[in-house]
Amino acid sequence: FVAGFIGSPQMNFLEAAPLGAPGKTLGVRPEHLAIDREAGEIPGTISHVEHLGGETNVYVRTEHHGLLTVRRFGEHQYKVDEAVHVTPEAARAFHFDAAGVRMRDTAAAA
Q: pLDDT digit string (tens) for 47-86? A: 999 998 899 999 999 998 999 999 998 888 899 999 999 9
Report how many domains make up the chain. Answer: 1
Domain with 99, as residue range(s), is 2-109
Confidence of residue 105 (pLDDT cuts 50, 70, 90): low
Closest-CA residue to 14 (of 88, 79, 76): 88
State the pTM of this model.
0.80
Closest-CA residue to 110 (of 6, 19, 2): 19
